[in-house]
């Protein structure tokens, strides 16, 4: 039940002004073997230690504690439209499978503190492996399935896993992606060699096994069917996992997460942000290779006693109604996706949104990239449920900005991810002077005063110096965490993210956020999607170039049609932002190059537009998109 309209402000203020008392209350949402003796140790800024002295276990809180009360309730719903398979695991069944996986990992030599690298498609065994690591105090590092060998090798070298868990193959749009050759090459490239590789055979691709190193999951599972593996209680500050941020160059940057703080942060978010309750069903369309998959496919929903949907497939296969059929069948109450996916659906027949009974769905949360107002308005009208944007990072592990509907029902504002979430002491900072900007609608860097709340990164894996220098020293004269995003805050406390600080372009002395230009262009009825980059210009320093996907390819057939639409787009930007923001060119393309998580590779677009090598593109979903753009740019 929502509380009085003024209470979120008080709730938020208490989380900042009475930090330890507030987070001590949230700690009651999970089980502790030993209660913490100190809520937050911030004696060595910017390093924060949460729930010092407390002993807990992430798997116990996600699985074991629910078995007695709701053992027969669905816990994990594994669906693959790629292999036409569905399997529902109850909490009791999940409990047994996780213990089998834990026993297998222990038989391969995994102990508390060891790393286990998980290179898996979206199948139930991937969740078993994550939870099994948490169960025995091992540290997992999930790498997106199908990641290129060179990038995988650098992560193997950095994490130094004792065991790697993988599968013969994944599948995307009906196309099998063999994993074993990629994995074998990565191990060959890496100076670190795992002691063992555990393979799940899906029957999709041949996977030659290396004698003595590689082991078949099904065979080992058979040996441990009755395994009873107790949870290893670990210090709250014990690392739970390493997750490498996408787009890193050179040495990988591993976000290191703790155990107790993360469990509390997620449990609190399920209550206060998502207004979820045990027995509800959560469907996140992300992947376990990304932070959303960790927090809101595997751990968060299970901590709350919910059923969680793990989905392998596309939003439009077999048709654009597949997600809504899942909502209907499993009575999904909470859904989490990305704006990119919504834009994909927007291109398809809207009848798919009306074909299924989605009355169970309470809201749709979107994150991963800025949600533009036209997209938000369209999906809001199509679904007739609240569309709630949220903004956060791999580093934080849970939302920084959103609406906390479990505390107070607040109206979303399209174009804004919402207000500062409890626990985050957010400031807008002038990047030059370091001064705080306190007036409404002033543009600054979104920053967070330390300590970061529970659940955020402890440090960069094995590189404390990099943690400090990267995140805490970019703003002059202040030790403050930078999100590296521009933002403004209106008079009511709603934030608007304007794009990365390194995506700001300087046109003839005018600083422009590419996000603002994109927002204007995306509002044109003929544009389905757009990315704007700054390109070097001998006269103006930089000019904006827009890469736009037309809603109807026929609208740009022929020079006259293309010039007409380009002119309309430029006129719209002129009218909304002024002539200084008008792109020098609007290039029409059939698709934008994106990572597998749906983020547009703007730096690659910029490099191509400037005639430079776009660099490492191992995370790109469809290389042909960039090749076509290269050909067009010439």
pLDDT, tens only, 14-64: 999 999 999 999 999 999 999 999 999 999 999 999 999 999 999 999 999
Categorize the per-residue pLDDT at 2 as very low, low, confident or very high, splitting at 50, 70 and 90.
very low
Query: What is the 8-class DSSP label of residue 19?
Result: H
User: What residues pair up with 544 in beta bridges, in sequence order?
Assistant: 534
Poorest-confidence range of 114-128, 237-251, 340-354, 600-614? 237-251
Give the burial string for 135-170 (b: 16+ CB within 10 Å, else e).
Answer: bbbbbbbbbbbbbbbebbbbbbebbbbbbbbbbbbb
**The domain 508-633 belongs to what CATH superfamily?**
ANL, C-terminal domain (3.30.300.30)
> Residue 38's beta-bridge partner residues?
52
Longest dimension (CA), the chain: 73
597 has pLDDT over 80? no
pLDDT band for position 615 (cuts 50, 70, 90): low
Dump pLDDT digits (tens) for 544-558.
999 999 999 888 888
**pLDDT tens sequence across 491-532:** 999 999 987 776 777 776 666 778 878 888 998 999 999 999
**250 burial class (0-12, 13-18, 19+ CB within 10 angstroms)?**
exposed
For residue 45 the two structure tokens come to: 């800024």
Q: How far apart are CA 139 and CA 112, in angstroms?
A: 8
Tokens of 182: 């990629």
| pLDDT tens by residue, 444-487 | 999 999 999 999 999 999 999 999 999 999 998 899 999 999 99
Contacts of 286 (CB under 8 A, 6+ apart): 292, 293, 296, 297, 336, 337, 338, 368, 597
Report which of 374, 410, 431 is spatially closest to residue 494, judged by C-alpha positions. 410
3-state secondary structure of 461: coil
The CATH code of the domain at 7-313+390-484 is 3.40.50.12780
Model pLDDT for residues 210-235, shown as the tens digit of each residue = 999 999 999 999 999 999 999 999 99
Hey, how many other C-beta atoms are within 10 angstroms of the C-beta on 381?
11
* Residues forming CATH 3.30.300.30 domain(s) in the chain: 508-633
User: 616 pLDDT exceeds 70?
Assistant: no
| Tokens at 519, concatenated | 């927002």
Residue 501 Cα to chain centre, angstroms: 20
């Amino acid at each position: 039940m929502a509380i009085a309209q003024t209470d979120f402000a008080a709730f938020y203020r208490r989380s900042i002004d009475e930090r330890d008392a507030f987070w001590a209350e949230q700690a009651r949402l999970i089980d502790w073997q030993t209660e913490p003796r100190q809520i937050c140790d911030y004696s060595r800024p910017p390093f924060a230690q949460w729930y010092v002295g407390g002993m807990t276990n992430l798997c116990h809180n996600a699985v074991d504690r629910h078995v007695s009360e709701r053992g027969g309730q669905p816990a994990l719903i594994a669906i693959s439209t790629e292999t036409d398979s569905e399997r529902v695991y109850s909490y009791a069944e999940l409990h047994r499978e996780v213990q089998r996986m834990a026993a297998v990992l222990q038989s391969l030599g995994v102990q508390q503190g060891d790393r286990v690298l998980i290179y898996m498609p979206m199948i139930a065994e991937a969740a078993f492996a994550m939870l099994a690591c948490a169960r025995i105090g091992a540290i997992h590092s999930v790498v997106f399935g199908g990641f290129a060998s060179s990038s995988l090798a650098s992560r193997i070298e950095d994490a130094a896993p004792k065991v790697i868990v993988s599968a013969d193959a994944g599948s995307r749009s009906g196309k099998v992606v063999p994993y074993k050759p990629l994995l074998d090459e990565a191990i060959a490239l890496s100076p670190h060699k795992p002691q063992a590789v555990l393979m799940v055979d899906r029957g999709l691709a041949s996977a030659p096994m290396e004698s003595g190193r590689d082991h078949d999951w099904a065979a080992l599972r058979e040996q441990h069917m009755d395994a009873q593996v107790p949870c290893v209680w670990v210090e709250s500050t014990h690392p739970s996992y390493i997750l490498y941020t996408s787009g890193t160059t050179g040495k990988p940057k591993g976000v290191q997460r703790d155990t107790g703080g993360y469990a509390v942060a997620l449990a609190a978010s399920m209550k206060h942000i998502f207004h979820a309750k045990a027995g509800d069903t959560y469907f996140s369309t992300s992947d376990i290779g990304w932070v959303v998959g960790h927090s809101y496919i595997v751990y968060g929903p299970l901590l709350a006693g919910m059923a969680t949907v793990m989905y392998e497939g596309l939003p439009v296969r077999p048709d654009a109604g597949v997600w809504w059929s899942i909502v209907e069948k499993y009575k999904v109450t909470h859904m989490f996706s990305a704006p990119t996916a919504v834009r994909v659906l927007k291109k398809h027949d809207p009848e798919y949104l009306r074909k299924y009974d989605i009355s169970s769905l309470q809201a749709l949360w979107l994150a991963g990239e800025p949600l533009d107002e036209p997209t938000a308005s369209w999906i809001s009208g199509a679904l007739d449920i609240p569309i709630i944007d949220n903004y956060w990072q791999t580093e934080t592990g849970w939302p920084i900005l959103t609406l906390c509907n479990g505390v107070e029902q607040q109206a979303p504002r399209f174009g804004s991810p919402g207000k500062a979430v409890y626990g985050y002491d957010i400031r807008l900072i002038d990047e030059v002077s370091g001064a705080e900007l306190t007036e409404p609608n002033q543009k600054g860097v979104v920053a967070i005063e330390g300590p970061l709340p529970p659940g955020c990164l402890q440090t960069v894996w094995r590189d404390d110096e990099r943690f400090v220098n990267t995140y805490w020293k970019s703003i002059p004269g202040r030790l403050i965490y930078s999100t590296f995003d521009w933002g403004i805050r209106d008079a009511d406390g709603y934030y608007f993210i304007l794009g990365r600080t390194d995506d700001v372009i300087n046109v003839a002395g005018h600083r422009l956020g590419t996000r603002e230009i994109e927002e204007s262009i995306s509002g044109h009825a003929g544009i389905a999607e757009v990315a704007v980059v700054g390109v070097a210009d001998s006269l103006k320093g930089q000019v904006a170039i827009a890469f736009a996907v037309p809603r109807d390819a026929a609208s740009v057939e022929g020079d006259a049609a293309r010039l007409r639409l380009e002119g309309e787009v430029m006129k719209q930007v002129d009218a909304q932002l002024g002539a200084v923001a008008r792109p020098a060119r609007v290039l029409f393309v059939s698709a934008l190059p994106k990572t597998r998580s749906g983020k547009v590779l703007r730096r690659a677009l910029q490099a191509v537009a400037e005639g430079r090598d776009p660099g490492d593109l191992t995370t790109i979903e469809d290389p042909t998109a960039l090749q076509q753009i290269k050909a067009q740019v010439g």
